Amino acid sequence: MSVRIDGEKSGQVPGRSSVLRRMVRGPRPEVVPALVARACTLVGLLDVAAGVFPRFRNSRMHRLVEVLPGSLGPFAAALSLSAGVLLLLLAHGLRRRKRRAWRAAVALLPAGAVAQFVYRHSVIGVLISLALLLPLVRHRSEFEALPDPRSRWRALANFVLMGAGSLGLGLIIVSVHPHRMVGNPSLSDRIEHVLYGLFGFEGPVDYTDSTSWTVGFSLGALGLLTAVTTIYLAFRPEHPAARLTEEDEARLRALLEKHGGRDSLGHFALRRDKAVVFSPSGKAAVTYRVVSGVMLASGDPIGDVEAWPGAIERFMDEAKAHSWTPAVMGCSETGGEVWTRETGLDALELGDEAVVDVADFSLSGRAMRNVRQMVKRIERAGYETRVRRIRDLGESELERIRRAAEDWRGTDTERGFSMALGRIGDPADGNCLIATAHKTEDAETGPYGDLKAVLHFVPWGTDGVSLDLMRRDRSADPGMNELLIVAALQAAPRLGIERVSLNFAMFRSALARGEKIGAGPVLRAWRGLLVFLSRWFQIESLYKFNAKFQPRWEPRFVVYASSRDLPRIGLAAMRAEGFVNVALPRFLRRTAPAPRPCAHRVAEHGVRAA
């Protein structure tokens, strides 16, 4: 199979210009921003030290001290401390080439230099600040990255982190003047003094000379800095979260109609909390969400595989424009090959997807004995199953299923990103498949009548479906998920379905090889760690659940720029999937925009998304 960049002939060997284009858009070391960020951290620490420690720099400019007004000392200490803390906060933005961080650093460095000169009379401190200012101005073209999408939870995070930092730094400020303290105040007195000082009030600790003014101004500066940054983050204009527009969704559905059979995760690109970039020809697209500075795509690009490079190029250009870290979760082997070839990124096997070919599935045989016995036992207990397309259900039944699925969600946080659609029963998703379990003798009991379990599948081309979510009543008999998967596989032929994608099993090959005879100590240790982590992340249980149905395993990969980015990408993926939740309290959250007409959104969860 030949792959071309949009505008190039299929099968043509890439020329020099094509290779150079790929080299340019591939990740290159940002040497200047990284060095400037380190230097900014150093200068910030020097400014903080100059504002906190009274003997950080011994003054030799006695004549200048005599003519300077004495009241400038405390003010200059607070200015030096504030400038240092802000420079430490800006270092991360400078490393990511953020334009606003550059502007703030250019304004703060002279302020820090003035404070160093006035308060500590440190010529070296002034020279260091100016030495950093010069390369900032000279290489200003390196700092052109656009701002990240904003959300109000950052205000709360800033308040917590800055408050904790101000408390710790305030204790240092209060304690570095032991010879000028009146008496011997206890730790609780010092903490109380810091807390009062952050709000601009005098605390229980007293000092001789003008030290009390210096400490008071420094604590007040920290408190003011915390308040100003928190208020700014809380009330600044907020960029809207990623949302698919109606036009983008229509274009994606058109691409899926033609090419949706290529990837079982294709339909999940229609999640409405994702953004999308299209190739120049419009024949391919990549959907993504930005989480903690990581531009996170999932699955393969949508559309014609020959147009994938154009969409990937747009994706990488967007990542570079904002200085986001590009990453792809759960792409196929073909997708991983195209991503790595076109961008210079690396790929790592993440796990395997369980795919059952309907023609080969049967409950007979020794390997299926446990599943067969479980299904028969549940059927004898009075359960029956129904497998239908969403378009064949009435609105009242759909509403009951939606409410039950939401109520049966196993966690408070809504989970799912790469392998979850995030809604049930939208009129545009009429081809989705739903399998339900009912216990007829309980028709009049419970808030949802005889409904006991729900499985929801999304289309995978015209002849396949991909598992979206699994929900069941906690009071129902065990084995509801197995019952419904078997029912869906048995009903597949009459619905024209030839293949069913089940759950994704992370690190499946490591678990399988590690339990075999002859596995080495490293592999056994790795498997032991995965089993331990399964207590929280359903790693081993998903693998064993999938293996019951004798599937074929399709490897899935994570694509990343550098191995040092993997922890950050992993945390971003866990946040996107809902395993790590960072959000404002419910009463402080911005009111969500009204959904589109007839767009029913029910949160996804659980086995599929894990």
pLDDT of residue 21: 37
Cα of first residue to Cα of last residue in the chain, in angstroms, is 33
Contact 346, 316 (CB under 8 A): no
Instruction: Using CB atoms within 10 Å of the CB of residue 609, give its burial: 0 to 12 exposed, 13 to 18 middle, 19+ buried.
Output: buried
Q: What is the pLDDT of residues 211-269, one digit of tens each?
A: 776 777 777 777 777 777 776 666 555 554 567 788 999 999 999 999 999 999 999 99
Q: Are 522 and 530 in contact (CB under 8 A)?
A: no
**Helices assigned H by DSSP within 176-304:** 187-198, 211-235, 246-259
Is the pLDDT reported for residue 587 higher than 80? no
Distance of CA 474 to the CA centre of its chain: 30
Query: Which residues, 6 or more positions from 475, have their beta carbon under 8 angstroms from its beta carbon?
Result: none
69 pLDDT exceeds 60? no
Q: Which three-class secondary structure state does DSSP give residue 313? A: helix
pLDDT greater than 80 at residue 437: yes
Averaged pLDDT, 452-479: 90
Higher-confidence residue of 542 and 74: namely 542
Q: Name the token pair of 367.
A: 């390997």
Nearest to 558 by CA among 574, 537, 534, 535: 574
pLDDT at 588 over 70: no
Q: What percent of the chain has pLDDT over 70?
A: 76
From the list 275, 349, 288, 337, the residue with the least C-alpha distance to 309 is: 337
Tens digit of pLDDT for each residue in 380-389? 888 999 999 9
Helix (H/G/I), strand (E/B), else coil: 350: strand
Q: How many CB atoms lie within 10 A of CB 231?
A: 13
Tens digit of pLDDT for each residue in 564-577?
Answer: 888 889 888 888 87
| 106 residue type, one letter | V
Mean pLDDT of all residues belonging to the chain: 77
- For residue 599, the 8-state DSSP code is -
pLDDT value of residue 599: 33
pLDDT one-digit tens code per residue, 181-220:
887 888 888 888 888 777 767 788 887 776 776 777 777 7
Task: For residue 369, report the phi and psi dihedrals to the nearest 5 degrees.
Answer: -60, -45
Tokens at 362, concatenated: 């049967």
* Neighbour count for residue 608 (Cβ, 10 Å): 26
Give the span between the Cα atoms of 297 and 449, in whole angstroms: 40
Is residue 378's pLDDT more than 60?
Answer: yes
Among candidates 375, 421, 379, 416, which has minimal Cα distance to 402?
421
Sole residue written with tokens 């020329």 = 15
Distance of CA 56 to the CA centre of its chain: 41
d(CA 413, CA 603): 9
Choice between 538 and 71, residue whose per-residue pLDDT is larger? 538
Please give the pLDDT value at position 607. Answer: 38
At 376 the pLDDT is 92
pLDDT in tens, 11-53: 333 333 333 333 334 444 456 777 877 877 877 777 677 666 6
Judged by average pLDDT, the poorest of 25-34, 54-63, 339-348, 399-408 is 54-63
Q: What pLDDT, on the 0 to 100 scale, is given for residue 191?
A: 84
Residue 558 has pLDDT above 70, yes or no: yes
Q: Where are the beta strands (DSSP E) in 318-379?
A: 325-331, 346-357
Q: What is the pLDDT of residue 608?
A: 43
- Separation CA 203–CA 212 (nearest Å): 10
CB-CB contact of 555 with 334 (8 Å): no
Q: How confident is the model at residue 161 (pLDDT cuts 50, 70, 90)?
A: confident
pLDDT digits (tens, 9 = 90+) for 94-135: 877 777 788 888 887 787 777 767 766 667 767 877 887 888
Distance, C-alpha 578 to centroid of its chain: 9
pLDDT band at 157 (very low <50, low <70, confident <90, very high): confident
Query: Residue 58's pLDDT is what?
Result: 42
Closest CA to 239 of 147, 162, 154: 147
Two tokens, residue 180 = 């000028």
403, pLDDT greater than 50 = yes
pLDDT single digits (tens) 271-294: 888 889 999 999 999 999 888 788
Tens of pLDDT, residue by residue over 337-371, are 999 999 989 999 888 999 999 999 999 988 899 99
Does 65 have pLDDT greater than 50? no
Specify the pLDDT at position 178.
77
Residue 366 burial (CB count, 10 A):
7
CA 540 to chain centre: 23
Q: Go through the chain and tell me how many residues it has.
A: 610
E-assigned strand segments in 3-70: none
Average pLDDT over residues 499-517: 79
| Beta-strand pair 464-472/499-506 | parallel
Burial of 517 (0-12, 13-18, 19+ CB in 10 A): exposed
Which of 84-88, 165-169, 263-267 is modeled with the greatest confidence? 263-267
Q: Residue 7: which residues within 8 A CB-CB, separation 6 or more?
A: 280, 281, 310
Question: What is the pLDDT at residue 488?
Answer: 94
CA–CA separation, 392 vs 288, rounded Å?
32
Residue type, 181: M
Question: Which bin fits 496, alpha (ψ -120 to 50), beta or left (φ > 0)?
Answer: left
What are the backbone angles phi and psi of residue 389, rounded to the nearest 5°?
-80, 150
